[in-house]
Amino acid sequence: MTPVKLYPAKPDKVYFFGTCLVDLFFPEAGLDGIRLLEREGIEVIFPEDQTCCGQPAYTSGYQDEARAVAEAQLDLFPEPWPIIVPSGSCGGMMRVHYPDLFADTPREAQAREVAGRVFELTEFLVHVCHLRLDDRGPAEKVAMHTSCSARREMGLADTGPALLGRLAGVELVEQARAAECCGFGGTFAVRHPEVSGAMVEDKSRAIEAAGAQHFVTSDCGCLMNIAGRLEHRKSAVRGEHIASYLWRRTS
């Protein structure tokens, strides 16, 4: 597995950026991500004034509005500690798009500095923490869904599967067309519900056909979309954020 950037030694402290979907729908995923980091001996700082990364406005073409939302986040991370994000989507926004969003503005240098400290959670656990896992769960077949942003913007198609591969009782099954989008895509699911629905139906069927008993993902948007579809289909397959899955099987 080739790292996508130069990774530091494991730090004593990190910031945690929780994301809107974690805050509103999957708070336990954020707490489990923090627990995993704390178990590695890292002090986790959660800036209480954090809100949205600005991605919904940005991907809808509202640059000024996105900049206003993103600017409110820049001052939350004054110390030179890594910023851990339990989402490739929000992580991609902050690491990849903040420099462009603030280009030719007084905040450009600060945005670039903040972007350089952003790590997606599974990336950080693999490349910085070199996480070892003592699996205490039952034997289980699991499918992994990696979000488009994590896979394509951040180059992290392998970090989630790498962590699952360290669980002795887990058999990672490969779904057909694993690299395809689940159809969520943030505002895409709202703007194009019929297309989005067809995409998540294909994704759900592929996970079932792979023989998975469980599926995990590192992005809560994908989790909400796929798990909701599986539930609608009355499927026995259940979904979970990878942070919660790792914590549950190893604690």
239 shares its domain with 151: yes
pLDDT grade, residue 185 (50/70/90)? confident
| Euclidean distance between CA atoms 17 and 54, whole angstroms | 13
**Torsion 195-101-79-150 (CA) sign:** positive
Is the model's pTM score more than 0.75? yes
> Is the Cβ–Cβ distance between 53 and 68 less than 8 Å?
no
Q: Would you say residue 51 lies in a domain?
A: yes
Task: Check pLDDT > 90 for residue 69.
Answer: yes
37 shares its domain with 106: yes
Domain enclosing residue 118, as ranges: 13-127
Query: 193-211: per-residue pLDDT in tens?
Result: 999 999 999 999 999 999 9
pLDDT grade, residue 1 (50/70/90)? very low
Report how far apart the first and last C-alpha atoms of the chain are (Å, whole number).
27
Q: Would you say residue 1 lies in a domain?
A: no
187 shares its domain with 242: yes
26 shares its domain with 108: yes
Query: 92-143: per-residue pLDDT in tens?
Result: 999 999 999 999 999 999 999 999 999 999 999 999 999 999 999 999 999 9
| 140 SS3 class | strand
21 shares its domain with 81: yes
Query: 145-180: per-residue pLDDT in tens?
Result: 999 999 999 999 999 999 999 999 999 999 998 999
**Alpha-carbon distance values, 145 to 28, 30, 72, 84 (Å):** 19, 18, 31, 20
Q: Which of 127, 160, 187 delimits the end of a domain?
A: 127
Q: What is the DSSP string of 33-98?
A: HHHHHHHTT-EEE--TT----SHHHHHTT-HHHHHHHHHHHHTT--SS--EEES-HHHHHIIIIIH
pLDDT grade, residue 2 (50/70/90)? very low
Q: Determine the pLDDT at residue 142.
A: 98
90 shares its domain with 24: yes
Q: Which of 127, 157, 181 delimits the end of a domain?
A: 127
103 shares its domain with 181: no
What does the radius of gyration of the chain's CA atoms come to, in whole angstroms? Answer: 18
Query: 31-68: per-residue pLDDT in tens?
Result: 999 999 999 999 999 999 999 999 999 999 999 999 99
| Euclidean distance between CA atoms 2 and 5, whole angstroms | 9
Q: Would you say residue 174 lies in a domain?
A: yes
Q: Which of 96, 127, 158 delimits the end of a domain?
A: 127
| Euclidean distance between CA atoms 83 and 118, whole angstroms | 5
- Closest to 42 measured CA to CA, from 8, 17, 9, 11: 11
Domain CATH for 163: 3.40.50
88 shares its domain with 171: no
> Is the Cβ–Cβ distance between 72 and 42 less than 8 Å?
no
Q: Would you say residue 101 lies in a domain?
A: yes
